[in-house]
Amino acid sequence: MPNIKSSKKSVRTDALQKIANNDYSARVKNSMKRCENAIKEKNKEVAEKELKTFIVNIDKACSKGIVKKNTCARQKARLNKKVKEMAN
């Protein structure tokens, strides 16, 4: 346990930030899973809708610094490719 006042505050703010970061990363993972499940079920409409929500979620996580920029781009490209291949 820290003794300095600013260190105590930093422990509190770190805990709050950890909760927020976990929420963003959970949103990304859940939306990716929902999109991949729609692709497996060959449901094009749901897959496209889930792809849009995934892109919004991962872009927000990227802007917050939770996901790296290249990781974000790679995951979006791969999922987008799967959805487009499913359409054919």
Q: Spell out the domain ranges in the chain.
A: 5-87
Give kind and range of the element (H or E) at residue 62: helix 44-63
Q: What confidence category does residue 16 fall into, taking pLDDT thresholds of 50, 70 and 90?
A: very high
Note the pLDDT of residue 86. 83
Phi then psi dihedrals of residue 47, to 5 deg: -60, -45
Q: What confidence category does residue 14 fall into, taking pLDDT thresholds of 50, 70 and 90?
A: very high
Q: What confidence category does residue 59 fall into, taking pLDDT thresholds of 50, 70 and 90?
A: very high
In the CATH hierarchy, which fold is given to the domain comprising 5-87? Methane Monooxygenase Hydroxylase; Chain G, domain 1 (1.20.58)
The reply to whether the predicted model has a pTM over 0.85 is: yes
The 10 Å Cβ neighbour count of residue 67 is 20
Cα 16 from Cα 59, distance rounded (Å): 21
Q: Would you say 39 and 82 are in contact if contact means Cβ atoms under 8 Å apart?
A: yes
Instruction: Kindly tell me if the per-residue pLDDT of 1 is higher than 90.
Output: no
Place of tokens 């709050």: 16
